[in-house]
């Protein structure tokens, strides 16, 4: 069974799949050129309404073009995903099939480890509920840089979430963080 959930981004919708697509993490496909090892994403880009595809552990977020209504898109995507699942084809291959371990990288200092831990425990689960993900990029001179993926990318409320939500949490919990920026 596949069902949908709205996201704060009116151009994106979550399609919840009843099986595990990724054991950990997420995969962001902002264009067809980025779909190597992702046959489901590549095939979804064949629909003229698809502008971006985001795959997480048990859902796919589709971002559609503004010229298309969800009422038209939802049945097409649901039917396609059901047929795709029934065909037995892999959703993801290669690098996405490897089990990713969330071990701290050796080069991460204690502060970076604390930032990543707070992101993983408090921010990423909430963002995943909205059909996206936030990835740590860097921390330098008090500025934490994060990459927005899925429904968060291009969402009208992402600036508010980033500044009032994430920045507020980070500056309270980790005083070394002074500001948060999207990259």
- Tell me what percent of the residues of the chain surpass a pLDDT of 70: 94
Classified as helix, coil or strand, 109 is: coil
Q: Please give the mean pLDDT across all residues of the chain.
A: 88
Tokens of residue 107, six digits = 């080069």
| Residue 145, strand partner residues | 138, 181
**2 pLDDT more than 90:** yes
CA pseudo-torsion sign 143, 146, 152, 154: positive
Nearest to 54 by CA among 99, 9, 118, 116: 9
Q: Residue 77 and residue 69: Cα distance in Å, rounded? A: 13
Q: Which pLDDT score, from 0 to 100, does residue 137 have?
A: 92
For the chain, list the domains and their CATH numbers: 3-96 (3.30.1370.70), 110-182 (3.30.300.130)
Band of residue 91 on the pLDDT scale cut at 50, 70, 90: confident
The pairing of strands 143-150 and 179-182 is parallel
| pLDDT tens-digit readout, 94-123 | 888 764 444 445 567 899 999 999 998 988
Structure tokens, 101: 């371990």
What's the pLDDT tens digit per position in 144-181?
999 888 888 877 777 777 888 889 889 999 999 999 99
Buried b (16+ CB within 10 A) or exposed e, 144-162: bebebbbbbbebeebeebb
Location of structure tokens 């899925």 = 150
């Amino acid at each position: 069974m596949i069902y949908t959930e709205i996201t704060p981004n009116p151009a994106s919708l979550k399609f919840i799949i009843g099986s595990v697509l990724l054991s950990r993490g997420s995969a962001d496909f902002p264009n067809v050129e980025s779909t190597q090892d992702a046959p489901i994403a590549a095939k979804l880009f064949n629909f003229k309404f698809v502008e971006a595809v985001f795959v997480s552990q048990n859902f796919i977020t589709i971002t559609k073009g503004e010229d298309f209504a969800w009422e038209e898109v939802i049945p097409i995507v649901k039917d396609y995903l059901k047929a795709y699942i029934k065909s037995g084809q892999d959703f993801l291959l290669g690098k996405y099939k490897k089990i990713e371990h969330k071990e701290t990288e050796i080069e991460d200092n204690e502060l970076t480890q604390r930032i990543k831990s707070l992101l993983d425990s408090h921010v990423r689960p909430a963002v995943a509920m909205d059909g996206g993900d936030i990835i740590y990029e860097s921390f330098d001179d008090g500025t934490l840089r994060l990459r927005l993926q899925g429904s968060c990318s291009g969402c009208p409320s992402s600036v508010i979430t980033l500044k009032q939500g994430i920045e507020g949490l980070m500056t309270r919990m980790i005083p070394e963080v002074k500001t948060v920026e999207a990259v």
